């Protein structure tokens, strides 16, 4: 029995879940997948979900479909498109905790997904729905990770994947994935916001199913990140969950996840959702702090954290709603703050791509500078790292070599550069001759410095 329907977030009009629809036919606003959940015994379900970890069935092995009672839009679990995804680690990050001024900090690393980012949590539900509605092709605009994820899942499902990416603005780790997975990759001379506009114009004409976060079925999968996080914490609700903000699908889906868990009695309080944007790509921050927070302030986005280089986030109203539900907040951080925070996360032996590091940078800003929203060092905080460190190795190497510029032009080599960022936590490689004694000496020097 299908318990789901699509519902407009503004006027509440309902639509069939099978409708190939991304916006309300009445008012044009965004859609949610909503459910008539049957009476739920939360404790029993928590137990069932734990038990499924011992199962070998694909739907139980998936860190998304394991929680299928919370995403009951698709009945036939033997036909889901799963890699599997999820099952990402929750790690202690003591160096990062010290850096931000907290006594303890936990990191949920979504970069340990099959294609290296949190997009896989949503792609499994999005592509499963694409197959269910009979799509021949799936499409997305992307700053890189969505295209990598969609490319892989489309290939697994035997569908054509079509990606539109802003030329020259996608990190090579991600571009290489889309190409290798066989996605038809169209590099457009424009930014992400233009690519997204184009994909929404073109897709209906060709009957392609859009898998950007405007697709509410994709957000259903991403919602389960909240569930898995709580399951891993034995259902202890953190005081705060911190996420990067780009197109704002992730913050929207986490908000919906926590809200549903609260309504269904799985948790008795909500964590504060804190969204962090890069200063040069902070339309949500600018909107919330403007005189008219009901009207999106769009920007021409600029940041080295290319994953979140987005000026017109499509899910901004859902992100506002998530902040309302969770008494959340949004702030912005500079390129320097992102670069240093990323290196500190690396020192924990964790690492991440630049966009993910906004979280730790934002926390430090809130704690150390005490701006916007003062935090208590005893707060129980989880940050969500969204992408793997290997997605954008170029950025990391430049940082450690002291060659990271907020502004640069590349032809075959860098031709123009300005706005040099400090490499505060650089770990420079050391050139040594191929000589045994020198190598021993250098290592011993290092050991005595470290002790």
> What is the rounded CA–CA span in Å between residue 237 and residue 92?
16
| Minimum distance from residue 322 beta carbon to ligand F0G (Å) | 11
The correct pick among 86, 144, 271, 311 for binding ligand F0G (CB under 6 A) is 144
Of 145, 287, 303, 312, the one binding ligand F0G by CB under 6 A = 145
Nearer to ligand F0G, 68 or 174 (CB): 174
Residue 433 in tokens = 């001759």
Question: Considering only CA atoms, which of 317, 331, 344 is closest in space to residue 245?
Answer: 331
Closer residue to ligand F0G in complex, CB, 146/215? 146
**Closer CB to ligand F0G, 49 or 309, in the complex:** 309
150, 248, 330, 366: which one binds ligand F0G (CB under 6 A): 248
Q: List binders of ligand F0G among 334-393 (CB under 6 A).
A: 353, 355-356, 386-387
Residue 248 beta carbon to ligand F0G: minimum distance, rounded to whole angstroms: 5
CB-nearer residue toward ligand F0G: 282 or 308: 308
Residue 266 sits at φ, ψ, to 5 deg, of -80, -30
DSSP-derived secondary structure for 18-31: TS--SB-TTT--BE
Contacts of 87 (CB under 8 A, 6+ apart): 61, 62, 63, 112, 228
Q: Are 159 and 131 in contact (CB under 8 A)?
A: yes
Indicate whether 396 belongs to the interface with ligand F0G (CB under 6 A).
no
Supply the minimum distance, in Å, between the C-beta of residue 140 and ligand F0G. Answer: 7
What residues contact 324, with CB distance under 8 A and at least 6 apart? Answer: none
Rg of the chain in Å (alpha carbons):
22
Q: Strand 160-166: give its sheet, edge to edge.
A: 184-188, 160-166, 137-141, 208-210
Candidate ranges 74-82, 240-248, 258-266, 409-417; the one touching ligand F0G (CB under 6 A): 240-248
Nearest distance from residue 347's CB to ligand F0G, in Å? 20
Q: Pick from 143, 331, 396, 423: which binds ligand F0G (CB under 6 A)? A: 143
Q: Does 307 bind ligand F0G (CB under 6 A)?
A: yes
Q: 110-139: which residues touch ligand F0G (CB under 6 A)?
A: 117, 119
Q: Identify whether the C-beta of residue 121 lies closer than 8 Å to the C-beta of residue 85.
A: yes
Among 106, 146, 359, 396, binds ligand F0G (CB under 6 A): 146
User: Smallest gap, in angstroms, from Cβ of residue 246 to ligand F0G?
Assistant: 3
β-pairing, 137-141 vs 160-166, is parallel
Question: Out of 7, 121, 247, 312, which residue is the one contacting ligand F0G (CB under 6 A)?
Answer: 247
Residue 207 in contact with residue 135, Cβ under 8 Å? yes
> E strands of 112-157, at which residues?
137-141
Among 80, 308, 344, 389, binds ligand F0G (CB under 6 A): 308
- Decide whether 267 or 281 has the Cβ nearer to ligand F0G: 281
For residue 80, give every residue at least 6 positions away whose Cβ sits within 8 Å of its Cβ, in sequence order, or none.
Answer: 58, 59, 62, 65, 74, 124, 128
Alpha-carbon gap, residue 125 to 83, rounded angstroms? 11
Counting Cα atoms < 13 Å in the Cβ hemisphere of 28 gives 1
Q: Shortest approach of ligand F0G to residue 88 CB, angstroms? A: 13
Cβ partners under 8 Å of residue 219, min gap 6: 33, 122, 213, 249, 252, 253, 256, 315
CB nearer to ligand F0G: give 348 or 353. Answer: 353
Residue number with CB closer to ligand F0G (96 or 213) = 213
Site for ligand F0G (CB under 6 A): how many residues?
Answer: 23
Q: Which of residues 51-90 bind ligand F0G (CB under 6 A)?
A: none
Q: Show the beta-strand stretches assigned E in 40-115.
A: 90-92, 105-109
Closest approach, Cβ 213 to ligand F0G, in A, equals 5
Exactly one of 142, 224, 332, 396 binds ligand F0G (CB under 6 A); that residue is: 142
Of the pair 84, 246, the CB lying nearest ligand F0G is at 246
The Cα–Cα gap between 393 and 399 comes to 10
Angle at 178 between CA 176 and CA 181, to 5 degrees: 105
Which residue lies nearer to ligand F0G by CB, 224 or 356? 356
What is the smallest separation between the CB atom of 76 and ligand F0G, expressed in angstroms? 28
CA distance 67 to 227: 8
Interface segment toward ligand F0G; rule CB under 6 A; list 33-41, 91-99, 244-252, 431-439: 244-252
Rule CB under 6 A: which of 37-56 touch ligand F0G? none
What is the rounded (10 degree) CA torsion for 396, 398, 402, 408? -130
Which part of the chain contacts ligand F0G (CB under 6 A), choosing from 21-29, 63-71, 140-148, 398-406? 140-148
Q: Does 246 bind ligand F0G (CB under 6 A)?
A: yes
List residues binding ligand F0G (CB under 6 A): 117, 119, 142-146, 213, 244-251, 307-308, 353, 355-356, 386-387
């Amino acid at each position: 029995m299908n318990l789901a329907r699509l519902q407009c977030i503004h006027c509440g009009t309902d639509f069939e879940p099978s409708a190939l629809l991304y916006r309300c036919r009445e008012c044009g606003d965004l859609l949610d997948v909503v459910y008539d959940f049957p009476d739920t015994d939360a404790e029993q379900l928590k137990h069932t979900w734990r038990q499924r970890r011992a199962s070998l069935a694909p739907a139980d092995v998936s860190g998304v479909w394991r929680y299928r009672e919370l995403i009951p839009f698709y009945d036939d679990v033997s036909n889901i498109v799963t890699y599997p995804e999820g099952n990402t680690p929750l790690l202690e990050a003591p160096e990062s905790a010290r850096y931000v001024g907290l006594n303890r900090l936990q990191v949920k690393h979504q970069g340990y997904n099959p294609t290296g980012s949190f997009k896989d949590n949503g792609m499994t539900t999005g592509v499963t729905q694409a197959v269910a509605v009979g799509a021949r092709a799936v499409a997305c605009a992307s700053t890189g990770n969505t295209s990598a994820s969609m490319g892989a899942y489309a290939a697994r499902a035997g569908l054509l994947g079509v990606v539109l990416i802003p030329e020259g603005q996608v990190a090579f780790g991600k571009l290489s994935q889309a190409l290798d997975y066989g996605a038809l990759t169209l590099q457009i001379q424009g930014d992400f916001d233009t690519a997204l506009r184009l994909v929404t114009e073109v897709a209906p004409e060709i009957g392609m199913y859009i898998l950007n976060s405007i697709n509410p079925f994709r957000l259903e999968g991403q919602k389960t990140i909240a569930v898995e996080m709580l399951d891993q914490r034995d259902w202890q609700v953190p005081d705060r969950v911190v996420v990067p903000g780009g197109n704002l699908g992730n913050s929207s889906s986490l908000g919906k996840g926590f809200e549903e868990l609260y309504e269904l009695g799985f948790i008795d309080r909500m964590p504060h959702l804190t969204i962090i944007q890069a200063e040069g790509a902070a339309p949500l921050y600018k909107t919330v702090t403007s005189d008219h927070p009901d009207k999106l302030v769009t920007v021409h986005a600029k940041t080295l954290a290319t994953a979140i280089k987005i000026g017109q986030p499509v899910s901004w109203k859902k992100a506002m709603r998530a902040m309302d539900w969770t008494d959340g907040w949004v702030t912005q951080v500079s390129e320097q703050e992102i670069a240093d925070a990323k290196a500190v996360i690396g020192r924990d032996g964790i690492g991440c791509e630049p966009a993910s590091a906004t979280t730790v940078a934002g926390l430090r800003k809130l704690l150390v500078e005490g701006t916007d929203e003062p935090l208590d060092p005893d707060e129980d905080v989880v940050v969500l790292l969204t992408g793997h460190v290997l997605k954008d190795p170029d950025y990391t190497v430049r940082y450690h070599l002291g060659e990271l510029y907020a502004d640069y032009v590349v032809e075959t080599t860098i031709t123009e550069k300005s706005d040099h960022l400090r490499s505060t936590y650089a770990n420079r490689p050391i050139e040594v001759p191929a000589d045994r004694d020198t190598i021993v000496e250098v290592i011993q020097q290092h050991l005595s410095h470290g002790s």
